[in-house]
Amino acid sequence: MDFAGRPLKVELGRLGGQANGVCVVQYGETTVMVNATMSAFEKPVDYLPLQVEYEEKYYAAGKIKGSKWIKRDGRPSEEAILAGRLIDRPLRPRFNNKIRNEIQVVATVLSFDGVNDSDIPALFGASLALMISDIPFNGPIAGVRVGRVDGKLVLNPTYSERASSDFDVVVAGTENRINMIEAGAKIVPEAEMAAAIKFGFESFKSLTDFQLKIAGEVGKTKKQLVIAEHDKELVDEVRQLTEDKLRIALYLPGKGKNELYEGIGKIKAELMDHFKATYAADLTLAKKLSEVSVIFEEEIDRMVHKNVLEEEKRPDGRKIDQLRALSADTSILPHTHGSGLFNRGTTQALSILTLAAPGMEQWLETMEINLTKKRFMHHYSFPPYSTGEVKRVGALGRREIGHGYLAERSLEPIIPNKDEFPYTIRVVSEILSSNGSSSMASVCGSSLALMDGGVPIKSPAAGIAMGLMLDEKGEKYKILTDIQGPEDHHGDMDLKVAGTKDGVTGMQMDVKVEGITVEIVEKTLAQAKKARLEILEVINKAINAPRAELSAHAPRIQTVKINPAKIGALIGPGGKIINEIIEQTGAEIDIEDDGSVFVTSMTPEGMKKALALIAEVTYEVKPGDEFDGTVVSIRDFGAFVEIMSGKDGMVHISEISDQRVNKITDVLKMGQKVHVWVKGVDDMGKISLTMKGKR
């Protein structure tokens, strides 16, 4: 079929064959193979064991990995992990969450045309592979990317179009509902973001119809997995034993997170003890206890939903659009370049700014991206103590990468451009305590740290997590501001929105239900803006503008422009000249092709000396200039005099004196200091000097 002006092709039966479902999807010339596989037996877990993997292959783009030592495709890049999450999030709610057979979806990029992003065809292929397989899946789903170029909405924009787009929105879902949103925007009003989401959603039907057509022709009969329904008598017994206790544990005023979960944990422990004693002789005790655990969670879910929908009653007593207590502060740490502390309820983010020379930019290379630089980085740290748990501390997980990226994307539009502020900028957000929406707290903390460090950001940004309680029919709903605890765990939606006072900079949405309508999206964005403005007021009370001066501990950068033709002279043979300047001054020097030279120094003295040496080396000599020079070479016809570091000119024997000079060594000797004037500079840059005075 044709989709958004490009051919979308599906091929079945030639590649793969051992998986439960496999398809090859080609969009333009970008080609992705997706395999969906399910284990034959249940895994003894109390969750849906679904894995989604997205594999970029350098060969797909006709590239060999740039690393000098490692050429094999290795662990997935952060971009590949984010693409895997992008596919996982709309797929997950379309499975029965009581399935315990392991399910794995692997999307492998086989060919990349440099025009069409492979994540959108991979998402389409993941749904189709499941649709044609015998794996139970309540699909199809589809996803599209939406941009806006020159004021016009564009479906699945190319890479070149995305470079000039006002926003990058990926929206996915079923024919009837939206169930995933991922977006970055250049400070765009809520109404315009909602219009872009609606535009993308309205394009789903042709993609889901295409999948239904293919599955109708070649799809396998779905396996009938043993998914036991709850014993009604068991449900009634659990409800009778826990309902009153949960009402107290969940809704006791003034209860903190730890007290809340300790109370719930105590009720669950008592419940389990009851069933262990009652059914001690039952051979299926272990299975029964596992079912009781699930029923207990569903009872909390039922109670939280019922109270919000019928009475707008939240566990912590807030109104549905009310924020938790907020506080903000700056200059928390004494020897950093800037720091900010943001608290929302018991969620706390400490963000720390570091400024460095342009040469400290991060180099990026992936299947999609040729070697390029990144000057703003936000890194997110989520240690186990932030949730009061003991876990292994090690490599970043998908969640940390995803949360860090969302915050970084939400902050990028407020970062000044390189011409205005040439520093490499890194912010690290340490989540010291977490109870809902730590990624959005990172946006707030980072805004504080950036302003505290004197970074001239365009406007502070803030973020908020919005939730939803939907009735079983999907008709009645309540939107919740600033979700935490049970509302986050048992709610039906987590929609994070970040932005400035003027518009949205980042969005991310996941759901646990089929999806939501455009109407709910619009209302949630409006409610989120109200909350964001309240948060920005708190930030502005802590610090209402970037500080006028950088931290005393931050390096200083000065930019000078030189003639690009002088770059070689500044660098010198084998880097000799520039390395000498760096060694003499302690400054860092970065040179760009347009002749921009960035000098970074921790001391005023080092800066002054480095600038003077650069000016000396790159100075364009002109007739009439005069110098105190040093004789560096003597020939029969004249002497060469070094007038600046690495630059010399020739004084002809006739230009040494008004008196006749028979032999140069009668007048000059090596190392002698002489005063000279520039007589001329030829087209090759050769300098002729005179000692007879200015002509």
- Per residue in 2-26, pLDDT (tens digit) is 999 999 999 999 999 899 999 999 9
Give 258's contacts (C-beta < 8 A, 6+ positions apart). Answer: 388
pLDDT at position 396, please?
81
Average model confidence (pLDDT) across the chain? 92
Pair 485, 448 in one domain:
yes
In degrees, to the nearest 5, what angle opens at C-alpha 362 toward C-alphas 361 and 365? Answer: 140
Residue 346, helix vs strand vs coil: coil
Domain extent, residue 187, equals 2-218
d(CA 330, CA 542): 7
Residues 236 and 346 in one domain: no
What is the pLDDT averaged over residues 197-207? 95
Token couple for 51:
């894995």
Q: Which of 542, 566, 590 is the last residue of a domain?
A: 542
Sheet holding 462-470, edge to edge: 152-155, 142-149, 167-173, 178-188, 504-511, 493-499, 462-470, 477-481
**Residue 231 banded pLDDT, cuts 50, 70, 90:** confident
Query: What's the pLDDT tens digit per position in 452-485?
Result: 999 999 999 999 999 999 998 888 999 999 998 8
Do the beta carbons of residue 469 and residue 309 sit within 8 Å?
Answer: yes
Regarding whether 421 and 521 lie in a shared domain, the answer is yes
Residues 220-226 have a mean pLDDT of 92
| pLDDT confidence of residue 669 | 93
- Looking at 218, 247, 274, which one is the last position of a domain? 218
Both tokens of 396, joined, read: 């970043």
Asked if residue 519 and residue 423 are part of one domain, the reply reads yes
pLDDT, position 283: 62
Give the count of beta carbons closer than 10 Å to the beta carbon of residue 179: 25
Query: Can you give the pLDDT at residue 258?
Result: 76
Residue 357 has pLDDT above 70, yes or no: yes
Give the pLDDT score at 275: 87
Q: Which is it for strands 673-681 and 647-652: parallel, antiparallel or unpaired?
A: unpaired
Contact indicator for 471, 435 with CB cutoff of 8 Å: no
Residues 60 and 173 in one domain: yes
Mean pLDDT score, 270-276:
90
Give 652's pLDDT tier (boundaries 50, 70, 90).
very high
Q: For tokens 């005075």, what's the residue?
A: 693
* Strands laid side by side in the 556-561 sheet: 556-561, 596-601, 588-591
pLDDT score, position 503: 97
Q: Please tell me whether residues 73 and 170 are part of one structural domain.
A: yes
Distance CA 582, CA 562 (A): 18
Calculate helix-pair angle for 576-585, 604-618, nearest 10 degrees.
Answer: 160
Taking only the tens place, the pLDDT of each residue in 154-200 is 999 999 999 999 999 999 999 999 999 999 999 999 999 999 999 99
Number of domains in the chain: 5
pLDDT at 253 over 70: no
What CATH number does residue 600 fall under?
A: 3.30.1370.10
pLDDT digits (tens, 9 = 90+) for 374-394: 999 999 999 998 988 898 887
276 plus 402 within the same structural domain: no
Please report, for the domain that includes residue 269, its CATH number.
1.10.10
Taking the C-alpha atoms of residue 554 and residue 455, their distance in angstroms, rounded to an integer, is 11
Residue with tokens 């000039």: 164
Question: 560 and 466, same structural domain?
Answer: no
| 288 and 426 co-located in one domain | no
Which residue, of 161, 186, 218, is where some domain finishes? 218
Whether 320 is in a domain gets the answer no
Q: Are residues 530 and 486 both part of a single domain?
A: yes
Alpha carbons 279 and 284: distance in angstroms, whole number: 9
647 band by pLDDT with thresholds 50, 70 and 90: confident
Asked if the structure places residue 495 within a domain, the reply is yes
- Give percent of the chain above pLDDT 90: 74
Confirm whether 317 is domain-assigned. Answer: no
**In-domain check, residue 547:** no
Structural domain contains residue 91: yes
Question: Is the residue at 223 inside a domain?
Answer: no
What is the structure's pLDDT at 182?
Answer: 97
CATH code assigned at 684: 2.40.50.140
Residue 371 has pLDDT above 70, yes or no: no
Own/partner contacts of 145-148, CB < 8 Å, gap of 24 or more, are 145/117, 145/120, 145/169, 145/170, 145/200, 146/170, 146/171, 146/196, 146/197, 146/199, 146/200, 148/192, 148/196
**Is a pLDDT exceeding 90 seen at residue 343?**
yes
Judge if 149 and 261 occupy the same domain: no
CATH number at residue 347: 3.30.230.70
Kindly state whether residues 612 and 631 are assigned to the same domain: no
Q: How far is CA 71 from CA 63, 66, 67, 81, 426, in A?
A: 10, 7, 6, 20, 29
- Stretch 523-549: mean pLDDT: 97
Contact call for residues 480 and 156 (beta carbons, < 8 A): no
